[in-house]
Amino acid sequence: MLALVLAHLVVAAALPMVSARSRRAAFGVAAILPALTLVWALANAGPALGPGLTSTTAWAPTLGLELSFRLDALALAMIVLVSGIGAVILVYAMGYFGPTSEDATRSAALLLTFAGVMLGLVLADDLLTLYVFWELTSVTSFLLVGQSGEKRENRRAAVQALLVTVLGGLAMLLGFVLLGEAAGTYRISEIVAAPPTGPMVTAALPLILLGAFTKSAQLPFHPWLPAAMVAPTPVSAYLHAASMVKAGVYLVARLSPGFSDLAVWWVPVVVAGLGTMLIGGWRALYQTDLKRVLAFGTVSQLGFLMVLFGAGGRIAALGGIAMLLAHGLFKAPLFMIVGAVEHATGSRDLRKLSGLRTSMPGLAVAAAVAAASMAGLPPLLGFVGKETAFEAFLGEGGVRGWAIALGLLAGSVLTAAYSARFLWGMFAAKPGVAPTPVHAPGPLTTAPIWLSAAAGLALGIAYPLVDAPAEAYAGPGEYQLALWHGLGPPLLFSAIAIGGGLTVHVLRTRVDRLAKHSPFDAQHGYEGAIAGLERVAVAVTGRVQVGSLPAYLATIIVVVVVLIGPATLFGGAWPVGQPLYHSIIQVPLGLAVAVAALAVVKARRRFTAVLLVGVIGYGVAGLFIVDGAPDLALAQFLVETLSLVAFVFVLRRLPAHFTEQPSPRRTQWFRAGLAAVGGTVVAGGAVVLSAARVAPSSTSADFIALAPDGAGADNVIAAILVDFRALDTVGEIGVLFVAAAGVASLVLATRYDRKGLSASVESGQGSPRHEEDLVG
């Protein structure tokens, strides 16, 4: 299964080559792999509905990390959405993106990448594997919403989606770690089979739910989903309706069998789910952009799915699987229809569209079929799912059962209402609005719409096909998915939902006026939170980064003194018989260093100070030679020379003298005292520490013994650098690499900042013109 996921990524990486020849072919090639995945999953339906199909690849065995995958009933249902609808939408994208579209190449590769990582997510049987794919879907969603990044609204929506989902993702990772540690395993199937208990689990579950809620746009995190509608329609249909936003629902469905009897699990799920279903449905009623109508509808339906999977109970789970499939199969075609209509008319504003029923009759029928499934009309799959949902909670009875059932009923009324509003808004002939001129969409656009809308109808009639995975997920029992359960309360509820919805639609002018008065706006909450975060960041940076070198140095010295001073004083001992010097040449060298150090303090000119610092460096290098460390001395000499040169280069831009006005006497005394204490502590600490070693180091003995044969080097320093501790060397040159990039960009970037307006994208540091100027 890992190979299947990786194949998606490999083909995605190769897609730009296909796209260079033909944009359409790129989407066509991209659709092949998801289609094959669907075939593979359906061919393995037998074992998947039974014990499940597993495969495991250990990638860091010593850490117990592995990539484990499992195909079971729930994963199968999700693959129908991820790969099945994915393939259909990729075919639709062939028609949607024009042959010259600049976004096509990137979108094709990213959509297939997304299909791959989403497949990994639904197949993952390991919490950490799941987390990795989870975040990868967030990243691909960010890139797909942001598109080329040229439009401000794209960037804002992409950042909002990323921030919200990644916030939840991080919380979820914490929850995963807690849960995995409590259970002693990160294998999801094992955790669900034998759910752990205890305070750690109680802490873990809300964190995991936070991840699920942000990903599936639950209250109060939902605004990112409508905002993400700035993405091209295939992206919205695929990521933000059919698959990615279901990841949170999927996670709840995955863990619910183990935890749905815990109040800490089902209460937040049911409350957030019902709230989301109602708010989303209500908001959908006054949107004028048809895509946003659908987006809020998706938010609402995700809440519905959350309730079904999170509340626990076999029948609710049956309804959950049915609604999961139904939602993908009606929401994807509805989005595609919006895209097709937008292409055909140039608008998706329901106040401007008129008379499309007569000019686009085919699409109108397809939309009616899909919207009927959304509203819950027989014999569509949406009806089957909704019936089962009502049955689950009406059958449960009690306060909880009735409360949930009535909540779902209210949500279903709204669902029926916005379904009607969508159909009316898109296709009806409106009085006072001239019929919108259209040019008919091609078969590449309409065929995928028909295929997925018809699938919703076919699965509704052939409900046993859905019942098989649903029962494999929920467990065997008496109640089964069916079109006709006889007259009873669920049927009555369905009828009320449809009737109520149509009534709300008929009274739409009044509802419009009412719906605009919304008590609170979650989007404002998000913007407030971001603005607050920025204010805090500015305040903290302003306090911590005061921009004064003496303040920074004082902080460092105080920390050194406070940490090292007492430890040296109480923990160490002055070495016995410490000679003042053991080679006469150390005396002049030491004196030179000390005199230079004292003279630096009195230096008035920067250039003098730099030269004196150089003297200190060379003196220390001389001491290294005397003590028999030629490698060290060589490096020290060279580095000292280079830093001297660098200083002199920089000094050309600085005033020749240090600041003219002397600082107040008290400050001077404080600094002198601090410097004296710091110097004494460091020097004293060095002497005391040199006495701490009482025997030759065993490590260096090994190094010396092994160097000639093991590393082929007589020079043990070289052997350590390039062989024994070679990893350190690689890491250090990596640091140098980053530092060089930093210096270059700081120095060269600021000069362009100063030039102000003339700084354009082309004159950046890496541009050829700039290189020419400098390298010649």
Applying CB under 8 A, the residues found at the interface with another protein are 630-631, 633-635, 638-639, 641-642, 645-646, 649-650, 652-653, 711-715, 717-719, 721-723, 726-727, 729-730, 733-734, 736-737, 739-741, 743-744, 747-748, 751, 771, 773-776
Smallest separation (angstroms) from another protein to the CB of 630: 4
For residue 364, the one-letter residue type is A
Q: 443 and 50 in contact (C-beta within 8 Å)?
A: no
For helices 127-146 and 246-259, angle between their N-to-C axes, nearest 10 degrees: 160
The dihedral sign for the CA sequence 758, 761, 764, 766: negative
Considering the complex, what minimum distance in angstroms separates the CB of residue 772 from another protein?
A: 9
Select 233 or 636, whichever has its Cβ closest to another protein. Answer: 636
231: left (phi over 0), alpha (psi -120 to 50) or beta: beta
Nearer to another protein, 550 or 712 (CB): 712
469 with 77: CB under 8 angstroms? yes
CB-nearer residue toward another protein: 197 or 729: 729
- Report whether 380 contacts 461 (CB < 8 A): no
In the complex, least distance from residue 751 CB atom to another protein, rounded to whole angstroms: 5
CB of 722 to another protein, least distance (A): 4
Smallest gap from Cβ 704 to another protein, in A, equals 15
- Which residues have C-beta within 8 Å of that of residue 153, sequence separation ≥ 6? 230
- Looking at beta carbons only, is 478 or 772 nearer to another protein? 772
* Angle in degrees, CA 168, 407, 423, rounded to 5: 85
Q: Which is nearer to another protein, 484 or 737 (CB)?
A: 737
- Report in angstroms how near the CB of residue 774 gets to another protein at its nearest: 5
Q: How far is the CB of 731 from another protein (least distance, A)?
A: 10
Residue 165 or 636 having the CB closest to another protein: 636
- CA separation (Å) from 226 to 52, 97, 103, 340, 424? 36, 22, 21, 19, 21
Any residues with CB less than 8 A from the CB of 756 and at least 6 apart, and which?
A: none
Task: For the CB of residue 775, give the shortest distance to another protein in the complex, in Å.
Answer: 4
Q: Which helix (H) or strand (E) holds 68?
A: strand 65-71
Whichever of 10 and 733 has its CB closer to another protein, that residue is 733
Rounded Cα distance between 234 and 277, Å, is: 24
Strand (E) or helix (H) holding 639? helix 630-651
Cα separation, 473 vs 113, whole angstroms:
28
Residues 6+ apart with CB under 8 A from 509: none
Rounded CA gap, 141 and 431, in Å?
40
For residues 13 and 744, which CB has a smaller minimum distance to another protein in the complex?
A: 744
**Interatomic CA distance for residues 84 and 328, integer angstroms:** 10
Nearest distance, CB of residue 650 and another protein, angstroms:
6
**What is the DSSP track for 671-739?**
HHHHHHHHHHHHHHHHHHHHTT--S--HHHHHHHHHIIIIIS-S-HHHHIIIIITHHHHHHHHHHHHHH
Minimum distance from residue 427 beta carbon to another protein (Å): 58
Considering beta carbons, is residue 130 or 633 the nearer one to another protein?
Answer: 633
Helix (H) or strand (E) holding 361: helix 361-375
* C-alpha–C-alpha distance, residues 269 and 205, integer Å: 11
Rounded to a whole number of angstroms, the minimum distance from the CB of residue 645 to another protein is 5
- CB neighbours of 349 closer than 8 A, spacing ≥ 6? 288, 289, 290
Nearer to another protein, 581 or 649 (CB): 649
Output 434 or 650, the one with its CB closest to another protein.
Answer: 650
What is the distance between the alpha carbons of residues 491 and 377, in angstroms, rounded to a whole number?
11
Nearer to another protein, 582 or 653 (CB): 653
**Residue 47 or 630: which CB sits closer to another protein?**
630
Question: What are the structure tokens assigned to 580, written together?
Answer: 């003042």
Q: 5: closest CA among 49, 28, 29, 36?
A: 36
**Residue 150 or 753 with smaller CB distance to another protein:** 753
Minimal distance in Å, beta carbon 5 to another protein? 24
For the CA atoms of the chain, what is the radius of gyration? Answer: 34
Q: How far is the CB of 175 from another protein (least distance, A)?
A: 34
How many CA atoms lie within 13 Å of 105's alpha carbon, on the beta-carbon side?
Answer: 12
Residue 653 Cβ vs another protein, minimum distance, rounded to whole Å: 6
